[in-house]
Chains A and B, each alone.
Chain A
Amino acid sequence: MIFKVAWRNIWRNPARSLVVIASVAAGLYAGMLLIAIFNGFVVQEIDSAVHTQLAHIQIHAPAFSEDKDIKIVLPNGTELEEKLKNIPGITGVSGRIITTGMISSATAAAGMEIHGIDARDEQRVSKVSEMMLQGSYFKTPRPNSVVLGSTLAEKLGVKMNSKIVLTFQSATGDLTAGSFRISGIFKTTNSMFDQSTVFVQKADLATITGTLNNLHEIAILCADIKQVDATTSDLKKQYPALKVESWKEISPEMAMVTSIFDQMMYIIIGIILLALMFGIINTMLMAVLERQREFGILMAIGMNKPRIFMMILWETVILTMAGIPVGIGATLASLAYLSKAGLDLTQFSKSLSQYGIGNIIYPVLQPAVFLPITIFTAITAILSALYPAWKALRFKPAVAIHKI
């Protein structure tokens, strides 16, 4: 009957009960959606960095990374490349010739990292080929063609089929130059990358630099990002003389995004739950104070404090239990839509893409998040009922009975 009283009390003031249900639902919804957006953002950002710049794993000769000296090649690089292709769990291997140099058009010039790649191998590691605005990613390979980013093309004042000159150091230390024709223009979500990297075919670059059959970098993509750590440590053991690095090691700041995200998530959820807490305390306190006389009479006729306490707690629990499915339902509905349509941040995109953030975020929520968030919300709601319930226990029946 304690439960019955609690249940019926909920219907006594439906508007107030709705407020509690709505706050629980809104708290849950806001919390989950924010997590999904943040999570979607992080997943996309890592994905974008992995599929343009980083790959999952990179292998270099130990001294190469420091000043990208063209002379520091991977010993037996091409053989290594072939071996890696046969390791299970590795889905893409691309051997790259890398050199730094200058790109010049008729009107402008810029410093540059030049990647000599094999288009077929590179496409298994990088998604740049899927981000072409014009032309293609070496689909119809003509000798001395170059693929570059749209922002760089604008800066240089060049278009498709324009001629540009690449100047760089050869393997012997001399300055050499080659004339290239633009065969493709890409645009990734990372404008820094777009401005600083150009692609040419490995054979073309090798001919000019004299690094035939040599590689500076082998980029590896695993079947699943979760395998990366294990695969990296395997390769490290297998090739102790080489520098094997996972994307987290190459770009610690990218790895940090994840932990910053986690912290922000906790703070945001904390704020949401705190707001929820005050909302419920306030509403339930009103409900309790309004019924002061009733509690006074119940205590007078012999209802003990644990029972009164439970009555108020039940009321909150029922309201919370009603709010939770509403919140989860709303979250799922919104996610079903947003995970396909994406959250369009185009209006902020100019500033965002400078940081490598895409225009459209596709919120994703790991199923593992549902339960803890739901439990946290439920606990918060029930904790919030403790103060009003405690307040009710403090009523003195002789006084409360005379309250209207």
Chain B
Amino acid sequence: MNEVIKITDVSKIYNPEAIPVKAVDGVTLTVEAGEFTALVGPSGSGKTTLLNLIGGLDHPTSGTVEIAGTNITTMRENALIDFRLRHIGFVFQAYNLVPVLSAQENVELVMLLQGKSAKERSDRAKELLASVGLPDKLDKRPSELSGGQQQRVAVARALASKPGFILADEPTANLDSVSTSNLLDIMTRLNKENNMTFIFSTHDQRVIDKARRVIKLVDGKIESDSRQ
């Protein structure tokens, strides 16, 4: 067994002084390499908050977050940025990309931050963009790409840093059904062929249907956790 994510009794309370909101409430969860997990639940159930905690974008109020065997719960901001760079890939709902950079440059950016050579960056960026079906869009700026194409570039960028897993918060929420299934096909293929671990939140039943594990959150608690 290879645990990439291990969170133990994690809670996140917003506004602890004024009107406290318990966005995540005592969640314990492990995710293993190669899993393809959907995080579901009604609006306000804590999906985004939980993904932020796993991704080291936010600190839990209590509990511990371990990523790839490292406890990041109390890690400082600067160390966390570096940790994210090396271990976690992100895909957000929309407008993921740096608008002034081309698709290829956007993908290269993370590798540049990792200190990879120009040749390696360029080769890998082209390869990744080809694998998400955009071999002919290397020089296009985000504004010249459709929403679905932008999300595919974002997936390529997330893969570029060779992360342990990819977190995606409602990656298809802004997409039409064709683009949604397109993106999902790519994610599924990457999961199957490269054993890439994905955790994504969604409201879309067609997306949920593709997941192999579905975790349902209600009021910040895990209501169900099933493999299908």
A-side residues, CB < 8 A to B, are: 1, 4-5, 8-9, 11-12, 293-294, 297-305, 307, 396-398, 401
Contact = CB atoms under 8 A, between A and B. Distances in A.
The 6 closest A-B pairs by CB, nearest first: A302-B85, A8-B100, A398-B57, A398-B58, A398-B52, A304-B81
A300 to B, nearest CB: 5
Contacts of B109: 1, 301, 303
A293 B95 contact: yes
Contacts of B57: 300, 396-398, 401
Interface residues of B, number: 29
Given A302-B81, A302-B161, A401 B92 contact: yes
B101 A5 contact: yes
B75 interface: no
Given A12-B99, A398-B58, 9 more contacts: A1-B108, A4-B105, A300-B57, A301-B157, A302-B85, A303-B109, A396-B58, A397-B57, A401-B92
B145 interface: no
B82 A304 contact: yes
Contacts of A304: 78, 81-82, 85, 113
A302 B105 contact: no
B81 A5 contact: no
Given A397-B57, A398-B52, A301 B99 contact: no
Contacts of A401: 57, 92
Interface in B68-85: 77-78, 81-82, 84-85
B96 A302 contact: no
Contacts of A300: 55, 57, 84, 90, 92
Contact of A5 (B77, B96, B100, B114): B100
Which applies to chain A's interface (DSSP): helix, strand, loop or mixed?
Answer: helix
Contacts of A1: 101, 105, 108-109, 112
Contacts of B114: 302
Interface in B87-109: 90, 92, 95-96, 98-101, 105, 108-109
Contacts of A299: 81
Interface of B: 52, 55, 57-58, 77-78, 81-82, 84-86, 90, 92, 95-96, 98-101, 105, 108-110, 112-114, 157-158, 161
Contact of A301 (B90, B95, B105): B90
A397 B161 CA distance: 19
Contacts of A303: 81, 85, 109, 113
Contacts of A298: 98
Contacts of A4: 101, 105
23 contacts: A1-B109, A5-B98, A5-B101, A8-B100, A11-B100, A12-B99, A293-B95, A294-B99, A297-B90, A297-B96, A298-B98, A300-B55, A300-B57, A301-B85, A301-B109, A301-B161, A302-B86, A302-B114, A302-B161, A304-B81, A305-B78, A398-B57, A401-B57
A305 B77 CA distance: 9
B90 A8 contact: no
